[in-house]
Chain A
Amino acid sequence: MKVKHLLTPLTEADILALQAGQAVLISGIIYTARDAAHQKLAELQQSGQPLPFALHGQLLYYVGPSPARPGQVIGAAGPTTSSRMDRYTPALLAQGLKGCIGKGPRTQAVKDALVRYKAVYLAAVGGAGALLSRTVRQAEVVAYPELGPEAVYRLQVENFPAVVVNDAYGQDLYEQGQKQYRRQNNKPGKDDAHVPGR
């Protein structure tokens, strides 16, 4: 599959053109949020107040960067584990968020919400924080500066590499990819025929 270029904000047509397993390069604005920021956004949503930035068509990146050295835009900036955000994601998608970027599998509720609201979940390479930081051209805190690395940043990125994991059709790269490479009968408890030394 050829790498696809994505320009944010994303339209429904952009989303529908993506399939699980597709490698993409993202350019434009993306917003960051991890656990603490999600909790604050959820509180605002529950009390019917406006969010500190418009979600419509946007991508949310689960990252808590390391501090920038003087003269640099940002420190290392790779993805954090997405499952901690699962409980908050459907409500954000309902408000027009078009996708999130993180690492690791999502719950069925999130996958269903991606289908319902036509959005995607992308994975960036966890642990490639130095490399990913080089795609960030500008970084500015837009909310919750008191949260330090957990503040919400507005990042301007250029060719940020990611892979589509869950698409708007209900496909899941983790499930499909792993099934393709799993060797038969290798589930815990299935095969104890060749334990060494006995």
Chain B
Amino acid sequence: MRELDVSKISSAVTEMMMEANYILGEDVLQALHQALEREESANGRQVLRQLLQNAELARAEQLPLCQDTGFAVVYLEIGQEVHLSGGDLNEAVQEGIRRGSAEGYLRRSIVADPLRRVNTNDNTPAVIHVTIVPGEEVKITVVPKGGGSENASAVKMLQPAAGADGVIDFVLETVCRMGSSACPPLIVGVGIGGTLEKTAALAKKALLREVGKPHPDLYYAQLEQELLQRINDLGIGPQGFGGRITALAVHIETYAAHIASLPVAVNINCHAARHLSRIL
């Protein structure tokens, strides 16, 4: 049994919340560079250049990449051999977000109640997903998720007979509906299978994958390619100005399904695809 003080989790979350907001991952940067090489539209190319400059400046000056520093989504994979001590785990994560937001000059984007809408003024609460795994490590992933692209996301319960065609249609429909407002080029996370909440969780988890890394199952890797092609053929382009690059990648995650169901979720991420992991 390994002993781990929750204050260590707290300080890791603080640092990660800041770093994720200032530094765009190498995977996203590389995808943006490749997009610039392939984009044909002049306005589209100008957008991609601005995004690359933006990333450079944010990193150098410790400025948030985007003023929407997101809803903090925190994944904890906790080894079952770890004993967490020194306080309440949930509170430790919230404290980490609180400190990271204050010390990092991040925008306060969270209201305490969805209808009465009073700002909590410290970006808490985070959305926390905990999984217990074998081993004695704790893996923390922090995802500051932008509101504009989250609003473009959707879930639908398809009939099993709709099959892969139904999934493709729903993904394209979702990207068409709100894609221009979600700050394209997008990263599109698709969850297929499970139950209503499981498929939504899969779609979000799909956004954690290194950008452009294909699904290990060839069937789904091909479906990802097909979807990427079809999304880019929509012509939405960077920022919706028209162009070849509407999405940088499509990532699919799947789970078993009920014989009566084919749930599909599409979680849209903007090019400010912020996610950072650390192992304690």
Contacts and interface: CB of A to CB of B under 8 A. Distances in A.
B274 to A, nearest CB: 10
A131 B243 contact: no
Contacts of A173: 43, 241-242
A85 B183 CA distance: 17
Contacts of A67: 105-107
A174 B63 contact: no
Contact of A197 (B63, B222, B233): B222
A176 interface: yes
A91 B36 CA distance: 40
Nearest to B225: A196
Interface residues of B, number: 65
Nearest to B221: A196
Interface stretch (B49-57, B78-86, B131-139, B199-207): B49-57
B5 interface: no
Contacts of A64: 67-68, 107, 109
A114 interface: no
A130 B58 contact: yes
A186 interface: yes
Q: How large is the interface on A (under 10, 10 to 19, 20 to 34, 35 or more residues)?
A: 35 or more
Given A105-B180, A129-B54, A148-B119, A181 B235 contact: yes
Contacts of B51: 125, 127-128
Interface string B89-105: 00000000000000001
B235 A76 contact: no
A174 B64 contact: no
Contacts of A192: 165, 168-169
Nearest to B175: A188
Given A76-B66, A104-B178, 12 more contacts: A67-B107, A105-B180, A105-B240, A125-B50, A126-B148, A127-B183, A127-B271, A130-B66, A173-B241, A178-B242, A180-B41, A198-B164
